[in-house]
Amino acid sequence: MKFVVVAFDSSGRRFEDIIDAPTEFVARDTVNERGLFIVEIKPAGGSASRAKAGGGKRQSRWKCLAEFTRQMAILVSTGTPVVQALGAVERQVTDARFSAVVADIRTRVEEGSTLADAVGRHPRHFDAVARSLIAAGEASGNLDKMLTRLAAVNRQEEVVRRSVTAALSYPSLLFCIAVLVLNGMLMFVVPRFSVLFESLDTPLPPTTAVLMDISAFLRGSWWWFFPAVLASIGGGVAWLRSKAGRRAVDTWLLRAPGFSSLFIALAMARIARVLGVLVESRVPLLDALALTKAALTNSQYRELIEKAESAVTRGGSVSTVVGGSRLVSPAFTEALRSGEESGRVGQVLTSLADYLDEDNAVLVKSITQLLEPVVLIVLGLVVGVVAVSMFLPLFDATAATGPAGGTP
């Protein structure tokens, strides 16, 4: 199979060649062995272009940003002009929507806009942290280094999101299966037993009577019950998006038994990484705190960073503020205080973020291993209660008629 490869060498010269290889991975290895940086690789014949024209593969915003910054960092570091680098990235992007974003950025840069201003036109894909680091890189002449740091931040964000999503996907699937199984039993299985129970004419146990009533209610009111459930879900989503709802959920997440430690650890790692990268990039501390606050989603942590901003404005230190909060561990506070005393806040926080990310990966795996059997046990108990409730009246009827039938 033949692949069309576009690459650059360390001096910034552009190469385009056709590689004969069995798979794309082998073709990439062949080009990498030559010391070239790949910016585009596709099967010969334009199949990649046809796939892209058909819509391409959709990717998350974080993954798109991580790939964009990593590719731009490689190209800019080899001396490629920003406009040409943007064109190369645009041709390589597989997400059609993000490709349009890159095309717009390239057009604006060609018209004389700075890269920071161009990406600022797309706040949905480039957050305040990304825009600030790009602006700092352009101002200092170290755009490639800033893009590399930004790529590392976004790549780690994508890794964390994937690990948490993968950890919760199986328990969520089990929960959905449990709900479907329970609804199916109440709608179709329990009514068949109700006819049998009426013929037996025996008193029903309380659990059986409750299940029969719920089944009759669902079968008789399904036409408005399910729309009501959907309306409740919609109202719940609207409430969650409100300020009061968001704060209530944020508070619950930090107090949830068994899960609060995970949410706190993830928040601390995010603060350490974002603030550390910003400070290392020579962003003023007040601006770095403001950008870190904008990158946080939990309202209580945002308020904590606001308090730190006020303290720094008055001449205080960040460690003094976070040290008195239950939202931050003592180890985090001591590391931050050590960084402030040594003048190496950025390096200390970046190292701390790496350490926290390793611990969080283990913590997510541990919680998942504990959560899966709990969900299975709950699912088994629900099905077991329904089964026992259905068969218990039959056992009672058999016990009541057996001795009478066996008496001569």
**Would you place residue 96 in the very low, low, confident or very high pLDDT band (cuts 50, 70, 90)?**
confident
CA–CA dist 361, 359 (Å, integer): 5
- Across 257-289, b (16+ Cβ under 10 Å) vs e yields eeeeebbbbbbbbbbbbbbbbbbbbebebeebb
Residue with tokens 């719940």: 236
- Mean pLDDT, residues 163-183 taken together: 80
Judged on CB neighbours under 10 Å (0-12, 13-18, 19+), 72 is: buried
Listed range (15-24, 87-96, 97-106) with the worst mean pLDDT:
15-24
pLDDT score at 401 = 61
Can 2-126 and 153-399 be said to share one CATH topology?
Answer: yes
- pLDDT of 176 > 80? The answer is yes
- Mean pLDDT, residues 251-268 taken together: 83
- pLDDT of 375 > 60? The answer is yes
CA–CA dist 219, 224 (Å, integer): 11
pLDDT digits (tens, 9 = 90+) for 98-125: 888 888 998 889 888 899 899 888 888 8
pLDDT digits (tens, 9 = 90+) for 32-60: 777 777 777 777 654 444 344 444 566 77
Token couple for 211: 């299940």
CA–CA dist 372, 175 (Å, integer): 10
pLDDT score at 48 = 41
CB-hemisphere CA count at 13 Å for 378? Answer: 14
Residue 158 and residue 66 in contact, taking contact as beta carbons nearer than 8 Å: yes
For the domain 153-399, what is the CATH superfamily, name and number?
Type II secretion system (T2SS), domain F (1.20.81.30)
CA–CA dist 136, 116 (Å, integer): 9
pLDDT score at 158 = 79
CA–CA dist 139, 287 (Å, integer): 16
pLDDT score at 342 = 87
- Domain positions in the chain are 2-126, 153-399
Listed range (33-37, 150-154, 286-290, 386-390) with the worst mean pLDDT:
33-37
- pLDDT of 365 > 50? The answer is yes
Listed range (135-139, 160-164, 382-386, 392-396) with the worst mean pLDDT:
392-396
Token couple for 124: 């949905």
pTM exceeds 0.85: no
Listed range (37-51, 168-182, 263-277) with the worst mean pLDDT:
37-51
Highest mean pLDDT among 32-36, 149-153, 239-243, 318-322: 318-322
- Across 212-240, b (16+ Cβ under 10 Å) vs e yields beebeebeeeeeeeeeeeeeeeeeeeeee
pLDDT score at 57 = 60
CA–CA dist 290, 311 (Å, integer): 13
- Mean pLDDT, residues 79-99 taken together: 84
Strands 14-20 and 37-43 come out as unpaired
CA–CA dist 65, 125 (Å, integer): 7
**Would you place residue 397 in the very low, low, confident or very high pLDDT band (cuts 50, 70, 90)?**
low
Percent of the chain with pLDDT over 90: 2
pLDDT digits (tens, 9 = 90+) for 300-322: 898 999 999 999 999 888 888 88
* Residue 163 dihedral angles phi and psi, to the nearest 5°: -65, -40
Residue with tokens 């400070």: 279
**Would you place residue 149 in the very low, low, confident or very high pLDDT band (cuts 50, 70, 90)?**
confident
Percent of the chain with pLDDT over 70: 90
**Would you place residue 11 in the very low, low, confident or very high pLDDT band (cuts 50, 70, 90)?**
low
Q: Which residue has the higher pLDDT, 119 or 195?
A: 119
Class of domain 2-126: mainly alpha
pLDDT score at 281 = 83
Strands 37-43 and 2-8 come out as antiparallel
pLDDT score at 296 = 85
Mean pLDDT of the chain: 80
- Across 103-112, b (16+ Cβ under 10 Å) vs e yields eebbebbeee
Residue with tokens 């680098």: 85
Q: Which long-range contacts (CB under 8 A, 24 or more apart) does 373-376 make?
A: 375/171, 375/174, 375/175, 375/178, 376/174
pLDDT score at 113 = 87
